[in-house]
Amino acid sequence: MCKFIKVLSVSLLLLVATLPTALASETNLNATEVQVSGSFQEEVAPDIAYINLGTVTEAESVAAAQAQNAKVSENIRQQLEDLGIKAEYIKTAHYSVTPLYKNDDTGRRTPSIRGYQITNSIMVTTSPNKTGEVIDTALEAGANQVNTIRFGKKDETGVRNAVIAQAVRDALSKADAIAAALNKQVVRVKTVNENGVTFHSPEIATRLYKAVGDNQVSTPISAGMIELSANVQVIVELE
């Protein structure tokens, strides 16, 4: 008898424990599930610029090419620092040593080397309004390549998150409109899928070489605007 009472007590406890879940499931059966999409686009002004500058030198030996390159590169760094660019914002982006071969018709299996080329590229971080001045200063100091110029935001993560949040608000606004049309209301958000943020930064992918002549004018650089867009998919329940 005592054993029967214990078994009955356990059964009742299990029934009571599963009752809220059963009721919740029954309630969910009466809910309407809706999937909505949300999007948001925004243009913001850049507040930072990344300039990739290069110095290419050639000589008959590696040592000579390196010496020439080091002298010019050091002069570029010094001139940029004098312009107000801190040393930590001038970083080496690429350094390579490339052999230069003779063009001959001797039919040799291994062509002879006539010299070496050293390529030393630096990435300069500055404000957008100083881009033209940085380029002019570097070219005057001996740089002979301007590889890329990219504009961006210092706090790219914060800007991206803000755009995502706006896209979610757009989706929930649509969900509320659907709920109102059905005389219902949004009771819960089931899932949110973020489809990524498109961050279109103005970039000039080009290669400029040092101008020849004394009548060199200042380089005009326009930053433009950064375009951001985000898309999300949200599933909600209406009751």
Nearest to 95 by CA among 57, 46, 133, 126: 57
Residues 164 and 105 in one domain: no
Burial grade of 191 (CB within 10 A; 0-12, 13-18, 19 or more): exposed
Q: Is 238 among the domain residues?
A: yes
* Rounded Cα distance, 27 and 29, in Å: 5
pLDDT at 76 over 50: yes
Provide the percentage of residues in the chain whose pLDDT is more than 90: 68
Neighbours of 204 (CB within 10 A): 17
The reply to whether the predicted model has a pTM over 0.85 is no
Question: Which of the two residues, 158 and 25, has the higher pLDDT score?
Answer: 158
Range of the domain at 172: 31-47+154-202+223-239
| CATH number for the domain that contains residue 101 | 3.30.70.2970
More confidently predicted of 149 and 107: 149
Instruction: Tell me the backbone φ, ψ of residue 211, rounded to 5 degrees.
Output: -75, 150
Q: What is the pLDDT of residues 196-235, one digit of tens each?
A: 899 887 666 555 544 444 445 567 788 889 999 999 999 9
Q: Which tokens in the block code for residue 115?
A: 């010299």
Please tell me whether residues 94 and 177 are part of one structural domain: no
Per the structure block, which two tokens stand in for 65? 């090419």
